Amino acid sequence: MVEDRSFGGRLFSIVNYALLGIIALVSFLPFVHVIAGSFTTGAELAVKKFVLIPTVWSFDAYRFIFSTNAIFRAMLVSVLVTLIGTAFSMLISSMMAYGLARRDLDGRRFIMFAVVFTMLFNGGLIPTFLVVKELGLVDQYAALVLPIAVNAFNMIILKNFFQNIPDGLEESAKIDGCSDWGILFRIVLPLSLPALATISLFYAVTYWNTYLNAILYLDSSSKWPIQVLLRQIVVLASGFEFGSSLDNEVPPPDQSVKMAVIVVATVPILLVYPFLQKHFAKGALLGSIKG
């Protein structure tokens, strides 16, 4: 495109760049603040308040939070739930998506309608809770996975992606004697890697971020995933709303300890983010918002 070199055009550009820079800064600084704060000694933080780069790097906060097993255990729970949940969700979602992507499947319109309908209307919190309870999943890790195993939106994105694979490929595979399973696992899935990567990461983030289902379904605090523990440490242990929180012997964590817990819960997402980012901005999602 030709650059607009008029005075008005330049002024517009300068203001636009400046505003975007400020927006990015405002949205990113809280993370920097928390990361820097977690490496600052309590003393420095108490004196200086706004630390962007600590003068003395201190790992005290991390030493403190890893001095008990609680964080390790919660991280382990979250990692396992995320890995197993994502694999499970991807398997079921892509099988369903492929079946529904095939135009010769009788009943696919009805099934699609039934799936889309769940996006518009649902039984709500309590009836879902009762179903999970009836199934005997209360206080089981499976309760963090099964109730959210298939996301209708993700499944539809996959289905639309599979539909765009040229039919000719499947036809010729079938003539060569390939079964439906073979077509799915040897042709369709390998051709859909960008979509699979994006959707896996959507699922992974959902599982990693699980909070509501954990407080709904898990009774024993030893099974808590990291998000629940984070909440417990940052908010409940620190002054208001006592009651269900940590034992009284542990001193209320100071700022840098809380920040360290936030960082620990955040880092895994920041690690996968660059991989995620490569794929999702391609506009592949646009066609799917209409179901």
In this structure, are residues 246 and 233 in contact, taking their beta carbons and an 8 Å threshold?
yes
Structure tokens at 266: 């955040």
In this structure, are residues 262 and 35 in contact, taking their beta carbons and an 8 Å threshold?
no
Structure tokens at 214: 């954990």
Instruction: Give Cα separations from 228 to 9, 78, 92, 151, 211 (angstroms).
Output: 50, 10, 27, 22, 6
Out of 180, 189, 191, 197, the only residue in the binding site for another protein (CB under 8 A) is 180
Instruction: Give Cα separations from 117 to 154, 170, 254 (angstroms).
Output: 15, 30, 47
Q: Restricting to residues 246-285, which ones interact with another protein according to CB under 8 A?
A: 254-255, 258-259, 261-262, 265-266, 269-270, 273, 276-277, 280-281, 283, 285
d(CA 95, CA 36): 44
Least distance to another protein, CB of residue 158, Å? 11
Residues 232, 233, 237, 240, CA torsion sign? negative
Least distance to another protein, CB of residue 247, Å? 21
d(CA 139, CA 156): 31
Q: Restricting to residues 46-65, which ones interact with another protein according to CB under 8 A?
A: 46, 49-50
Q: Restricting to residues 144-163, which ones interact with another protein according to CB under 8 A?
A: 146-150, 152, 155
Q: Would you count residue 241 as binding another protein (CB under 8 A)?
A: yes
Q: Restricting to residues 97-126, which ones interact with another protein according to CB under 8 A?
A: 98-100, 102, 104-106, 111, 114-116, 118, 120-126
Least distance to another protein, CB of residue 282, Å? 8
Out of 5, 8, 190, 247, the only residue in the binding site for another protein (CB under 8 A) is 8
One character per residue 181-200, x = contact with another protein (rule: CB under 8 A): x--x----------------
